[in-house]
Amino acid sequence: MAQGQEKVTLSGTATHEKIDHILINEPLLFYTQEPKNLLTCYKQNNLFKSAFSISKPQFIYLSIMLRNWQVYVMPGDTIRFTIDGAGLDAKIKFFGKHAANYQVFAKITDFTGGPERPPRYLISKELRHNKNNLLNYKITLDQWYKDKNEQLESLLKLYPISKSLTHIARNKIGYYYANSLYSLVSDMAADSVPKKYLNDLKKIGFNDDPLLTANEYKYAVYNRYVRFKETEGRVNLKEIEKKIKSELKGKSKDYAIASLIGACAQRKIPIDDDALFSVIRSAYTEVKDPRYLAYIRESELNYLLLNKPLTDKVLDGTLLTTYSNGMKRSLRQVLAGYPGKAVYVDLWASWCAACRVDIAESAEGKKWMTENGVAVVYFSLDKDKAAWKKATVNDKIENDQYLVENEFSSELSKFMGITSIPRYLLIDKNHFVKSIFAPRPLESDLTQLKSLVKIF
């Protein structure tokens, strides 16, 4: 245990036999990062019992198959719980001294990421340009927001928590509502969105630094100040930086600046190098939080990897099995099979539900890439070769299909910092790295992908 850290004890039961382990993860600090696992606890004698260490009060995610619950924990806590059911129907009940802290935020997770979240509004871009469709969705979302606020107030009477945590709880629902509104129109021109739809978005306040512990607030900052609405041509980073510094202050401002640098480091769209490094130099002198500074340094290093070939260690040390003939090849040999072509690598696995949803919905994007000289290849991170082959056939992706040896420990996975999938890698026709966080091949990200491909 690191100096200054205290144990948090985990003790509980799950009635469903399929729940054999529980994950404890830290929430993402920044949108582009991978989650950090604090503990994987396996059931023994029908009981989950283990411990992890933290240095200060914070949110964590307690996760089982298909479900997450976010709870607020303190160093030295004992988290006692029971889980009834499994999957989306699972319900969790907490006991003990700080049970209220756990129960309130777990219920909010049901509102925002579980069975009680608002209905998904998956309509095409063309249908979204019908203003009545957008306004009808807003009516549905407004009712959800009203209902969940009422339920939260009732919950707070049953489980009183501190004034500061109550402030966070109320705002988590509010910023989730805002993000749900924004996400549907983020790629649309402002004049094509009804004014009534945008009115509530304009009322959203920022500069509330205590809310930086809430993912919903951080994502709202990202949506408002960082997410690139225009994907044709280069974005004006200096204008974005100016807007952030004129409208935000304190840690919210620093968070937005660090998020901007991190988003640029993914190079999902064309970026002006000189402008980005100017923003980075400023950030090093102005940003104070050591975690934000570490993220800025990490993002800068990732950006510097771009427009260069993969290293010899990655090219020769990454081994792949070809689906079509079972031959084992190095990554260098695989890429040699696509001379003079850009390569888009889809990293997936048979057990990854999100990966397979992306594959099922990516026909249009991958058709466009093929027609524009980009080879689409599949690198599976499966450990089970039989499961890989079965999923490959079921998903009809037998062509350009490879199995990565050593999965997440492979040289390619380490180079890209892969701890979760789906992930996408884009390499240009000279086989130089263009993005280690390439846009998804779906309609929502296709404009970004096209813009990135056009620069080479």
**Residues whose CB falls within 8 Å of the CB of residue 453, separated by 6 or more in sequence, listed in order:** 342, 369, 372, 374, 426
Radius of gyration of the chain measured on its C-alpha atoms = 23
3-class DSSP assignment, residue 298: helix
Which amino acid is residue 168, in one-letter code?
Answer: I
269/382 Cα distance (integer angstroms): 30
83 pairs with which residues across the strands? Answer: 14, 92
Token reading at 329: 């090849």
Residue 340, sorted as left (phi over 0), alpha (psi -120 to 50) or beta, turns out to be: left
Query: Cis ω on the peptide bond leading into residue 210 (within 30° of 0)?
Result: no
183/287 Cα distance (integer angstroms): 28
**Tens of pLDDT, residue by residue, the chain (456 residues):** 455 679 999 999 999 988 999 999 998 899 777 778 899 999 998 999 999 999 999 999 999 988 899 999 999 999 999 999 988 889 999 998 899 999 999 999 999 988 888 876 555 556 666 778 888 888 989 999 999 999 999 999 999 999 999 999 999 999 999 998 887 777 677 777 888 887 877 778 889 999 999 999 999 999 888 876 544 456 788 999 999 999 999 999 999 999 999 988 876 666 788 899 999 999 999 999 999 999 998 888 778 877 788 889 999 999 999 999 999 999 999 999 999 999 999 999 999 988 999 999 898 899 999 999 999 999 999 999 999 999 999 999 999 999 999 999 999 998 887 888 999 999 999 899 888 888 888 877 787 788 778 665
28/389 Cα distance (integer angstroms): 33
Q: Are 449 and 435 a contacting pair, CB within 8 Å?
A: no
Say which DSSP state 44 is in: B
| Spatial CA neighbour of 403 closest among 287, 339, 341, 324 | 324
pTM for this model (two decimals): 0.73
| Domain 312-454 classification at class level | alpha beta
CATH T-level fold of 6-113: Immunoglobulin-like (2.60.40)
Q: Start-end ranges of CATH 3.40.30.10 in the chain?
A: 312-454
Q: Start-end ranges of CATH 2.60.40 in the chain?
A: 6-113
Which amino acid is residue 186, in one-letter code?
Answer: S
Is 133 exposed, middle or buried, given 0-12, 13-18 or 19+ CB atoms closer than 10 A?
Answer: middle
Token reading at 447: 């404009």
3-class DSSP assignment, residue 222: helix
